[in-house]
Structures are given as structure tokens and as C-alpha cells.
Structure 1
């Protein structure tokens, strides 16, 4: 945990975020907090870790949780320091909870939600989800975050990440300007422009957090192991609109790099 005069991330980690689109922070919150959160989620879905015969669905979703353990997990000093380094000090809102939670269970059924995608960030007033939007400024989203509340190995349905895909998406969003592109437009070709990207698996011990660029292409996958996977995938929300008078943050530097504006 960084002291007041230290930062969470090294310069190399910050550069890796710009280049690859994500960083992995181990021990971002405690295993005790992770267990408290798991216990609440078990209670929320009405299932038990000791009754695997009741795990009949490949995935169960919980929209959000705002009780003390979840708020504490999202707001550790280590994470606050990392938010400052990647988004800019004073440019993000402290999370008041976490969500959504796609809780994945061992199953021979396909989950049906494992396609490659980018998380869009505004336009939610439209009842058609495919018309929600993202723009090159990433209006409405400062980071995509993956919080691991259980140990996640290669067979525990870890999120798949296409490294450096955020650079391609930034370049593709540029012609759409501030209005942005809809999810329907972004996904029209199945994100084939990022098929060449190396794939990283978001594995780690409970308490690990992946901080990802908002434009990172990622996907779920089936669960092939024995224990359920508990994970949250919330956004970090920006405090305001993009301000060109401020020094560019690493999130913005990555966008400029992808658009050949560096």
C-alpha cells in the first residue's frame, strides 16, 4: 500500500497501460474483504458454496452492490493512487459501489454472453442497447475495471483481453467525432480489426484488480473448472467532460497514440 508520498504504479506500469491497454494490480484489496463480498453475493443469489448440485445455470448476474465491503474494496488507497495516475488527479469519481457481477459456474452449457466487445459509455436513455455509444473522448467512462473476488485460474472463466486493441478502437472512433459510434456500428464486423491482437487472461488471486482502458476489446468464456468465479466489471466514472487545458492523462495518451496524434 503506497504511503502519501508514493504512487501505486511504476513508470513502466503506466507505460504498459498506455501500450497494452491494461495493468494488473495484485493485493488491491484484502482477501478478507473479498470473502465478505462473496458471502453477500451468495446470499443475494440464494445459493450456497456447499451445494454444487444447485448450480444449474452457467452464469447468474447481480446488477450492483453498495454495502460497506464493496465500497471499501473499490476505494483502497492503492487503487485511489492508481486512479490518479491513469485518469488524472481530481478527474474521477470515487466508486459508491460495484457492479455488474457476472457470477460464472462450472457448466457444460454455453453461457451465451461470451462474444468480443467494447463497453459503450453513454446513450443509455435509448431502450435499444445496441444504440448505446462510445466516442473518441470516452465520454462517460474513465476506466473499465475487473475486480476478482475469488481466485481465478485459466480454467475459471477468466475474462479474455485483446492486448493493444484499445489503440485500434480509438482510431476507429475518431471519424465519428463527439457523437460517437453505436455498439451496433462498433460490432458490425465482430471486431475483426483486433483479431491479430495477443490474448491475455485476467487471472489472479482474490483481491486482484485489472485497470483497463475504456476501449479495450474483451470477452467472457465458459467455466471449465470446479469453483464459481466471482468478479465485478464496473466503470470508473469521470468527474467531468474532457478538458483540453489539462495535461493529458495516460488514458488520453493512449487514445492519441492509437490515432497517430502523439
Structure 2
């Protein structure tokens, strides 16, 4: 179960981290399965960086359904989901596999592709899981997210009848100078500087940590895709957990 402080963090930021939600051995087993499929589908050798293409391999169906990944939904994550959702639907698998190979480029906060993964027609009772399969340092391709953006979107929806996904997203991103700066290639302010948007705190955070860490996020958190400026592949799993109706 999340502590009262962790609940407060989730309410404020829409993001809470559960350290060591599964063991390093369980994470290593998931990486082994993933490397096996990367080898079979893309000819990647974990010991030969010259084979690490494409940069963002897809189609990892075997890994997606691997039983090794069931450890993501271990006791600590289940208890946290119980506290946030009450009864929830047991997923059929541990979610999408996210891999970003080292790109040999400088890291920066992206200005494009900021989005949510669900629409705004009705309040969404769900939590998204982001599970780290390997250690993830800053700049290593961890998904950048705008902490607090769920509350900015929630308040925006009280001011308009608009619910079309792209329209709401674009209007929110144009609604404040800090957000406009975030999505501009010609930035005038460091997007890593925290801010307040009409009294609501917001800041960019990277999902970093150790193998076995899990983040839980609100479904309306804005996030994007960052380059991997590190030396090791970024390996994660993500999926939605839906409240039982």
C-alpha cells in the first residue's frame, strides 16, 4: 500500500515511484528474454554494439507475453494499485516492451511528441505502469514526463466542452507560456526549470532508477520520447491497469 506521503505525491504530480518493486534477478531474467528476441528478430548481439539496430526495435511479441514479466505485478505494485484503484482488472500480459538503443547524440528535453495515451471524453480510472528492466541513468532514454500535467488538463476540461483528443492536447500545450516553451524548438527558458501554471506546480522529470523500480502514473500525464545518450539500451515495460467497473 502507498504511504500517505506517496498518495500525496501521486495526487500532486500524477507520478509516484516504487523502488525495488521486483528483484534484480527477476529484472535480469526479463532482460535475458528480451535479448533472446532481439537476437531472433533483429539479429542483435548483446555483446556487439555494431548489431544494435534499429534504434527502437518493435514487434517484440514473444517478450510481451513472457511469463518472466509477471514479476512486474508483484506484491508491492499490487498493493499500490489496490490503494489507487480499489478493484482492478488483471491484465493478460505485462504490457508493451520499450527499447531505445544508445544513439550517440546529446541529451535534451524533447520539444515534439508531447501527448497522453488516453482521451478526455470521460474521467479515466486507470493507472499506467512503467517498469525498469535495467538500470536507467539520466539521459539514458527514460521517458520524460510533465509532473502535474494531469491536474492542468483536468482544470482545462472545466473551461471547455471540447473533448476531441488532439484538440484538447494542442489547446493545453498552447495554454501557458511554459508549455509553449516546452514544445518550441526555439526555447527561451530551460524546460527543466520547475514552474507553476495558475497555481499548479509542473516540471519535467525523467523516469530513471534501478532495475526493478516501477513508476505509476496518471493516464493524463503528458510525456514524450527522449534520445538515449547513454551507453546501454533503455529497456522498460509499460501498460495500463484499469479499474474494475
Corresponding residue to 1:238 among 232, 235, 243: 243
* Matched residue, 1:94: 90
**Conserved in 1, the CA contact under 8 Å of 2:156 and 2:172?**
no
**Conserved in 2, the CA contact under 8 Å of 1:113 and 1:220?**
no
**Conserved in 1, the CA contact under 8 Å of 2:153 and 2:172?**
no
Task: List per-residue Cα deviations over 1:130-150 (Å, max 9, x = no partner).
Answer: xxx333411xx5111111101
**Conserved in 2, the CA contact under 8 Å of 1:71 and 1:95?**
no
Over the aligned positions, Cα root-mean-square deviation in angstroms equals 2.4
* Matched residue, 2:123: 137
Unaligned runs of 5+ residues in structure 1 are: 1-7, 121-132, 241-262
Structure with greater contact order relative to length (CA < 8 Å, sep ≥ 6): 2
Task: List per-residue Cα deviations over 1:110-153 (Å, max 9, x = no partner).
Answer: 9x996211111xxxxxxxxxxxx333411xx5111111101001
Quote the Cα distance in structure 1 between the aligned partners of 2:152 and 2:223.
13
C-alpha displacement at 1:57, in angstroms? 2.3
Q: Secondary structure at the match of 2:21?
A: coil
Unaligned runs of 5+ residues in structure 2 are: 180-194, 196-201
Say how many residue pairs are matched.
213
Q: Indicate how the Cα distance of structure 1 residues 135 and 191 shifts in structure 2: closer, same or farther if over 3 A, else same.
A: same
Quote the Cα distance in structure 2 between the aligned partners of 1:190 and 1:59.
28
C-alpha displacement at 1:108, in angstroms? 4.3
Quote the Cα distance in structure 1 between the aligned partners of 2:210 and 2:24.
9
C-alpha displacement at 1:102, in angstroms? 2.1
| Matching of residue 28 in structure 1 with residue 21 in structure 2 | yes
**TM-score normalized by the length of structure 1:** 0.74
Task: List per-residue Cα deviations over 1:217-247 (Å, max 9, x = no partner).
Answer: 111200001110101121112222xxxxxxx
Q: Give the ranges of 4+ consecutive aligned residues of structure 1 lying more than 6 Å apart after TM superposition.
A: none
**TM-score normalized by the length of structure 2:** 0.78
| Matching of residue 169 in structure 1 with residue 153 in structure 2 | yes
Task: List per-residue Cα deviations over 1:35-54 (Å, max 9, x = no partner).
Answer: 11111111222222111101
